[in-house]
A and B are shown apart, each in its own frame.
Chain A
Amino acid sequence: MDDDKRLEAFQAKIDREEKIEPRDWMPEDYRKHLIRQISQHAHSEVVGMQPEGNYITRAPSLRAKVVLLAKIQDEAGHGLYLYSAAETLGITRDELLEQLHGGKAKYSSIFNYPTLNWADIGAVGWLVDGAAIVNQVSLQRTSYGPYSRGMVRICKEESFHQRQGYEIMADMAKGTPEQKAMAQDALNRLWWPSLMMFGPHDADSPRSGNALKWKIKRETNDELRQKFIDKTVQQAEVIGLTIPDPDLKWNEETGHYDSGEINWEEFYNVVKGNGPCNNQRLTHHKRAHDEGAWVREAANAYAKKQLEKSKVA
């Protein structure tokens, strides 16, 4: 079969809502786009362990501590599911990490913001995971089988994450004046970066065309962002916090909230590496990786010896 025919069959398969599996023929751009998107997603889960991990040792109750630990552990697990999905496309985890350390692969910019008080842990769960879930629910229907299966598993496990965060925010908001101030402060700092998680406006999103045609993405950045805003506004009201957007108001006609413009300069600046924690996050990841090198070498050497022994026996 020539490539045109293959491409036609590939597109037909996608249009029939059939999944593409690792050994199926796929256009090189589809593979590349997936590797970029899945690895970015995986790195986000892993780097995202850092801002939340910042409060593990300071969680204010034993219950809060185990919940946070379990949640961060899930993020590590989700990183692993996603690395596995990327690996089915013919790239190794070593290569993926090299790309991360070399700055070639990105992760979600939200994790380049610091967590500065306990309510931030609430805000991360409520807003950051909330935004991620909107995206991930949509991605359960992505056309690539391993990615889709990973998303189904992740969505199932993440269902407690957002609740955990919202519970913290609610408790803080109804707590002492100091706690309420912390909650509002966290919302003020993390609201806009959360909206940025959905990426540039559709009109400024150059790669969306193929991604939608190939059903890698199922909904556009702006559609997903709108969904997130619509469901979150009411949740903020219920716990008595104010979303830091003076232009936010209900639009009877569209049935959606209108909102103010995102500071795109800040967005691109953070993407380029100039956010408050870009350097810190990457340095942390590289340090852990480098410090672990002798351990990985030892485990490989041990495995090799065992294999040789079993051959002799």
Chain B
Amino acid sequence: MEVKDALIQYCLRLGDDAMIMGHRLSELCSNGPILEEDIAMTNISLDLFGQTRIIYTYAAELEGKGRSEDDLAYLRPEHEFQCALLTEQPNGHFGNTMARQMIFSVFYYHLFKELSKSPDESLAAFAAKSLKETTYHMRHACEWVVRLGDGTEESKWKIQDALNDIWSYHHELFEKDEVDEKLIDMGIITDTATIADDFYASVNEVIERATLGTPAGGWKATGGRSGRHSEYLGHILSVFQSLPRAYPDAKW
């Protein structure tokens, strides 16, 4: 595999994760537990779509086939998306959303810290910008996990269940295939294995503050990086892509 091809795929994965996560959060607009939280969710969603646009644009530029950010977002079929299954999982209740967001943000916080040192300047700049945003998303989600964990009895079991459920989806974020290997070999990205300790330390710290129990092992979700998704992605895309698909000649 050529380095350039690996980098294109890697950027698409970053973009797909951000886009599908951003989409899930965008579904929550006007559904938050308090109006202030609607603003918080849309803020995070906006940041993620901002990240999507930057990294898709870069991927398209590397690819050099004249595709745009919107071509990548709207005109690729389901199996060409390479997002982690975590991002596709439904919002559920507020605890589900926050547990998912915590895992996602903590992982990306540590990843972006490393990627911001990449010799690939565009990737490094993207990561540095995204790191600032993600630091805030992480803080927001972690504080909510703590509140729910150390809140009422009801909130405690709800967030514990949510955490247990979503835990199966965190492993995939650390997976590596030939795309990652190539870029690690070339020194362009960092091996996710090196951030695993930090990831678990961060999550455990929150779990402890939240007076929760460590989620148990069990089933490990996988498949997103090779285009094998949960059933949810098809539904997400059928909505997300509906207009450009229905009116291919239209410019919006």
Q: Which residues of A contact B (CB under 8 A)?
A: 46, 49-50, 53, 56-66, 69-70, 72-73, 76-77, 79-80, 83, 118, 171, 175-176, 178-179, 284-285, 288, 291-302, 305
Contacts and interface: CB of A to CB of B under 8 A. Distances in A.
Contacts of A302: 146-148, 150-151
Contact of B154 (A62, A288, A294): A294
A73 B42 contact: yes
B33 A295 contact: yes
A79 B32 CA distance: 14
Contacts of B186: none
Nearest to B52: A62
Interface stretch (B43-51, B81-89, B177-185, B198-206): B43-51
Interface stretch (B126-134, B216-224, B236-244): B236-244
Interface of B: 23, 26-27, 29-39, 42-43, 45-46, 49-50, 52-53, 56, 69-70, 73-74, 93-95, 146-148, 150-152, 154-155, 158, 239-240, 242-244, 247, 249-252
A83 B39 CA distance: 15
Given A298-B151, A302-B147, A58 B239 contact: yes
The dominant DSSP class at the A interface is helix
B30 A50 contact: yes
B46 A298 contact: no
A51 to B, nearest CB: 10
Contact of B250 (A46, A179, A291, A293): A179
A300 B33 CA distance: 13
Given A57-B239, A69-B42, A179-B250, A296 B29 contact: no
B247 A77 contact: no
Given A62-B69, A175-B251, A46 B35 contact: yes
B93 A291 contact: yes
A176 B250 contact: yes
A60 B239 CA distance: 10
16 contacts: A49-B30, A57-B240, A60-B243, A61-B70, A61-B252, A62-B69, A62-B73, A118-B243, A176-B249, A179-B247, A288-B33, A292-B37, A297-B151, A297-B155, A298-B155, A301-B152
